[in-house]
Structure formats: structure tokens, C-alpha cells
Chain A
Amino acid sequence: MSGGARRLTGSLRFRLLAGAAVWIALALALAGLVLSGLFRDHVARRFEAELTNQLDQLAALVELGADGAPLLRQPLSDPRFRRPLSGLYWQVGPGNAPLLRSRSLWDETLALPPDEVADGDIHRHSVAGPAGRQLSVLERAVTLPNGTAPLRMAVAQDEAELRAVVADFNRVLWLSLGALALALIAAVMVQVSVGLRPLVRLRAELAAVRAGRRKRFGGDSPREVQPLLDDLNALLDHSEEVVVRARLQAGNLAHALKTNLAVLANEAGGEAAARRVAEMRRHIDHHMARARAAAARGLPGVATPVADSAGALARVLEKLQSGGQGGGRVTVAVRVPREHVFAGEREDLDEMLGNLLDNAMKWAGSRVEVASRLEAGGMLAVVVDDDGPGLPADRRDAVLAPGVRLDESTPGSGLGLAVVRDVARLYGGDLRLGDSPLGGLRVELVLPVAAS
């Protein structure tokens, strides 16, 4: 089955419409056949009744002449008998008397099959008539007063007339039924649309939940759908709970480890111990960040506006800064549109952006700028610029190597760029270094964007 066909048969709307169309077609076809048959019978009976009438009239008008030959006392009333080849004919004979026939027959004879018709009976034949037309013939045997033998009297009519009437009727019938079918299918389409509207709304809700614009499904769906939604909500609750618990446990572990590390460092004292402790903290931070990001990756309903995180971090860092390279104050300008939303956890974004901003502020002269732009493939680039000394291109790979800090001299308070890149990559993003138009380093943090 091709993909398109599978998509069609997999669609509820298609199934309902196709089912309805089949039933409508079958029902209307049956109705059409029955109606058409009834009409044909009715028309045939009308024809026969008329012919019988004509035959009776004929029988009444024929009498025997003085010579014993049959003759017509007066012409039959229907003018078609006088118009040659009009399709309506009568004939008396053949038999033991000379043939008498309607003017419409011209010089043709109705080729009646040999038949013994009891007096008063009417027999029906179908014979080839003038111009090769098929004729319906009614025949009876009449013994006239003074007559010795019964005469065969026949009235014939072109069957084409009957067929034409039936065909006319059928054409109108099938056209009407076709129109009715279309109207019914249209009605079914409307009904299906109305009936499936909750599902369409559900799909929109699902997209919203996936994109993180909604936390849970609403409770106002039809009875048939609501249990599914309740289950989905429960599933969402569960995964969120699992992630929250995992994060809490990771946090507790980090807290315990770091507190003990602090104690150890104070007990040991000295430069070497301090370096080891800083190293161990980096490992803890690194793996905690990774574990957190891995737990949250792909979780539906998670979205963090970049502006929120960047704004809060900039506010805190500006307040607590120890000053830039020249010792003066560093200002952080955040120009991130509100609609740029990261498809991930606030804590992870805080961690990545916090480290980038912290780094930028340490190296900046007086300005740090945060901006963002959308990229192809559903990604978002958060751009952090500073006006510091920058980083030569040949050292950029080195600072992205694991365990290397831009500022090796002070045990900083956050993760290195390598860890930021690690977390970004866990989310399917990346970290790029470049030259800033402000003169310093430009760091671009590429992250998945939450669908809007």
C-alpha cells in the first residue's frame, strides 16, 4: 500500500465518508432499479391497454360486406393509422378472407406467427414490422355476425415508442438519484465534520501540549474521547513526576557531595587541594547538568521563553558583578523577542545562559549583549556578545575541550563552555564561537525552538 493510500484509509473521516458513500450508492441503485422496473411495467400496461382499446374499436368497426369480404364501416379514430409508417398499425387477416389493413401499413403486412386464438382471447406477439422496427402486436380472433370463420384481427405498435418513454424516464430518474446521492454525501460530509470536530480540536490541543503552550488536555471533550485524554494527562503527570523526582535526587546528591567537598577542602587547605576540589566540582556540575538535560529531553509540554531566563540572569549578574576587565561596571543588554521559546527546561537554559553570561561579563570591557534569532530546522540561536579582548580563532577549539575553562586562574562559579556545549548537544543544539561586532567574543548557543 502506498503511503498516500495508507494515509487515506487510516483517516477516520475517509472511512466514515467511504462507508456512507458505498451505502448511499447501493441503496440508491437498488431504488433506481426498482423504480425503473415499476415504471417500465406501468408504461407497458398502459401501452397494452391502449392497444387493447384500439383492437376493440377495430373489432367493432369491421363487418362483412355483401361479398362476404371484411370491410371497415368507418376509419379508426386514431389519425396515426392513416399516416404511413406512423408506428401504429392494424390488420385484419390473413385468413380465408382478403387482407384488410391500415393505411399506415402501406403495402406491408404484419407477419403474424401462426397461432390458434380462441374466440374472445387476446394474444400478444412481438414481430418485425415495416422499416425493420420491432412491433408489439395484440391479436384476437373475432367471428363476425354472418361470418363463417373467425377473422384474425391485430393491432401493432412500434416498441421503440415504449422504449423511448422508459429511456426518458430512466434518464430523469438516474439524474435525480445521482443528485440525491451527491446531496446525501454532502450531508454526510457535514455530519462527519461536525462529529469529528472534537478530534480536530484534540489534534490542536495535542500540538499545543507538545509545543508547551498548554500543560494538560482540557476536560470538555465528548464521552468517547475523554477517557483517552484523562489517560494522556495521567501519563504526562507521571513523566513530569519522574523527571522532577530524578532532578530532586540529582540535586540532593549534588548538595551532599558539594557540602562534603567544602568540608574536605577546608580541612585540607592548600593550593593543591583547592585545585582538586575545583576539579571535582566541575565533574559534579558537568554530570549533573548532563543528567538533568537527558531527563528533560523530548519531554512534551516543556517550554522556556529565552527572554525570561536571559532577563533574570542579566539582572542578577549585573547586580552582583565584580566588574569587567577594566574594573568598571558591565551592562548587559537583552534583546530577545518574547516569542523565542526554548523547547526545554528552565533550569537547563539558566545553566547554559548563566555560564555564557558570567563568562562574557568577566571578559567584557563594559558591555555584554544578548540577542536571538530563529534558524532553519526549528532551531534558535541565542547570541552573546562582549566587548572584551575576544579569543583568537586557534584557541577556540581548545576552550571547547572538556575540562578547560576560559579563565583558568580563578575557580569560577559555573560550568565551562565545553559543558554548555554538551548540554546544548543533548538537546540537539550546539555551541559556536566567533568574533563579535563589539570587538570581543561572540558565543552562539543553538537550541531547539518550541513549536508555536
Chain B
Amino acid sequence: MRLLVVEDDPALARQLAERLEGEGYAVDRAADGEEGQFLGETEPYDAIVLDLGLPRVDGLTVLRSWRAQGMTAPVIILTARGAWTEKVQGIDAGADDYLAKPFSMEELLARIRALIRRSKGHASAEIACGGVVLDTRSGRVTLDGQTVDLTGHEFRVLDYLMHRKGQLVSRTELTEHIYAQDFDRDSNTIEVFVGRLRRKLGADLIKTVRGLGYKLEAP
């Protein structure tokens, strides 16, 4: 899953990025409204954390512009001013959730997980496919009840495919959603991760649709 964090305070932005990367997300950062607006318009994010008090272009304007262009990724706003008026304005501008500063990181993580899950059409915190179960709250993956150890990249690939299970996911799309923007992408590595996942979770969980991409389906 790939996230965008738009936050002008460098320390808070760094903390957010580090924590989110630690949770297995690919994270892009923008330090002002202009950059944030551009990234949100051009990159396919799975969720966006948006501070409302931004230099250059304020958060509400950025959000309205995204929604006006049909950007559908879930957005959680961070508010600090006249809290309730700002929350109402934020939601009316198209935000999906809000969190008042200072916030607890665990709370933010829970909200982001829930937003991503709902946006991909999953009601429950656990996504199952065949014998494989992904607990989105803990990031734990089990196969027939047994915990499976995955590396960060393996988890990102599986996480995205699980959220989109039953749907065809192209290699480009997969690449875009597991790597941050400044990462040196090599689409061949995707094949390597898929190969490892097949070894750990069973050969027929992830199907290759030749020339098109991958599809995760119960065998």
C-alpha cells in the first residue's frame, strides 16, 4: 500500500513516514500544499494523510481540488485550529476522516487501515483467501492458522493483492503501490517477490495472467 503524507512540519513528517514505513507502507512525503496537490493528482495512492495548515496552498483547497478532479483515494485530515468548524469543512471538502493534533500514532494507524480496507470494499479487519488470512490490524499473515513470516516487500505485495483479491492487478499497478516515488523501481523484482510468496503460501494462490498481470484467487 502506498501512502502520501502532506505535512509541513519536518519532524512530524519524518516521524509519520518512519512509523508508516515500519508498518509496511510505501510512503511519499510533501512539505507544502503545492507539492502535495501535484503528487495526489499524479500518483496512485491508497490513502493520504493531509495536514490542513499548509504553506503555499492550504489543505482544504488541496483537498477540494483533488476531489474536483475525481481523485478517490481516502483522505484523513489532521486538524489543529477551530477544531469542529475545521472538521466539518474538511469532511464537506471530501475528507473521509479526521484526527485532531496532537494525535496518537496508534489511532492514526488504525484509522488508515480502516480507510484503506473500506475503500477496497472490505468490511472486516481480516481478509481471507483460501487458507490465507491477512489481519489488517496486526499485519499478521496466517496459512491454515499457522503464522507465516514475510519480508517487508513480500508483505506489501501480498497486502495489496489481498485487498484487491479476485481482481486483475497489472505489474505496473503493483509496482506503483508498493514503492514510494523516489524508490529505484525494477519491475523484475516483483516477479521475485511473487515467486517467494508462492513458495510460502502455495503455488496456486497468486495466478499469473500472461501479459496482463496477477490475480489472487482461492485455489
**B101, A316: Cβ atoms under 8 Å?**
no
Q: How far is the CA of A313 from the CA of B91 in the complex (A)?
A: 10
Selecting from B9-17, B152-160, B170-178, the interface stretch reads: B9-17
- Segment at the A interface, from B66-74, B79-87, B120-128: B79-87
Once bound together, how far apart are the Cα atoms of A320 and B100, in whole Å?
Answer: 14
Known: A281-B102, A320-B97, A413-B100. Contact between A255 and B91, CB under 8 A? no
Query: For the complex, is B149 an interface residue (Cβ under 8 Å from A)?
Result: no
**With A259-B12, A263-B9, A320-B91 in contact, do A347 and B85 touch (Cβ < 8 Å)?**
yes
A346 touches B85 (CB 8 A): yes
Instruction: Tell me if B81 and A255 are in contact (CB < 8 A).
Output: yes
> Does the CB pair B102–A351 fall under 8 Å?
no
Residue in B51, B82, B105 whose beta carbon sits within 8 Å of that of A350 in the complex: B82
Q: How far is the CB of B128 from chain A (nearest CB, A)?
A: 22
Q: How far is the CB of A414 from chain B (nearest CB, A)?
A: 6
Nearest B-chain residue to A278, judged by Cβ:
B102
In the assembled complex, the Cα of A254 lies from the Cα of B164 at a distance in Å of 40
Scan B18-44; emit 1 where CB is below 8 A from any A CB, else 0: 010000000000000000000000000
B98 near A320: Cβ-Cβ < 8 Å = yes
Residues of B within 8 A of A263 (CB): 9, 11-12, 15
Contacts of A265 in B (CB 8 A): 102, 104
A281 CA / B51 CA spacing, docked (Å): 17
Inside 8 A of A320's CB, which chain B residues have their CB? 91, 97-98
Given contacts A277-B102, A316-B87, A320-B91, contact A262 B82 (CB under 8 A): no
Which residues of chain B come closer than 8 Å to A266, judged between CB atoms? 12, 15, 19, 105
Contact indicator B104/A411 (Cβ below 8 Å): yes
What 1/0 flags go to A65-84 for Cβ under 8 Å of B? 00000000000000000000
CB–CB A351/B82 < 8 A: yes
A309 to B104, CA, bound (A): 28
A259 touches B9 (CB 8 A): yes
Within 8 A of B (CB), among A278-307: 281, 285, 288, 292
In the assembled complex, the CB of B77 is this many whole angstroms from the nearest CB of chain A, namely: 11
Identify which of B12, B84, B87, B101 gathers the most chain A CB atoms within 10 Å of its CB.
Answer: B84
Of B92, B97, B102, the contact of A262 (CB 8 Å cutoff): B102
Question: For the complex, is B209 an interface residue (Cβ under 8 Å from A)?
Answer: no
CB of B183 within 8 Å of the partner chain = no
Report the Cα distance A251→B58, complex, angstroms.
14
Bound CA span A351–B100, Å: 13
CA distance A258 to B11 in the complex (A): 13
- Using A261-B102, A266-B105 as known contacts, say yes or no to A355 and B84 having CB atoms under 8 A apart: yes
Tell whether, in the assembled complex, residue B85 and residue A350 are in contact, meaning their CB atoms are under 8 Å apart: yes
Residue from B11, B51, B53, B81 whose CB has the most chain A CB atoms within 10 Å: B81
8 Å CB contacts to B: which residues of A249-278? 251-252, 254-255, 258-267, 274, 277
Q: Does A149 contact B (CB under 8 A)?
A: no
How far apart sit A260 and B8, CA to CA, in the bound complex (Å)?
12
Q: Which residues of A contact B82 (CB under 8 A)?
A: 247, 251, 288, 292, 347, 350-351
Considering the chains assembled together, what is the distance between the CA atoms of A159 and B201 in angstroms?
143
B83 partner, pick from A260, A264, A267, A351, beta carbons under 8 A: A351
Contact B80 A255 (CB under 8 A): yes
- What are 27 residue pairs bridging A and B, where the CB atoms are less than 8 Å apart in the complex? A254-B80, A255-B53, A255-B80, A258-B80, A259-B12, A259-B51, A259-B101, A259-B102, A262-B102, A263-B9, A263-B15, A281-B101, A285-B83, A288-B82, A312-B92, A315-B91, A320-B98, A347-B84, A347-B85, A350-B82, A350-B84, A350-B88, A351-B84, A354-B83, A354-B84, A354-B87, A413-B99
Q: Which 6 A-B pairs have the closest CB atoms?
A: A354-B84, A262-B102, A251-B81, A258-B101, A261-B102, A255-B80
Apart from the given pairs A254-B81, A354-B88, 15 other A-B contacts in the complex at a CB distance below 8 Å: A254-B80, A255-B81, A258-B102, A259-B9, A263-B9, A263-B11, A277-B102, A313-B88, A316-B87, A316-B91, A347-B82, A347-B84, A355-B84, A413-B99, A413-B100
Interface residues of chain B, those whose CB is within 8 Å of chain A, are 9, 11-12, 15, 19, 51, 53, 80-85, 87-88, 91-92, 97-105
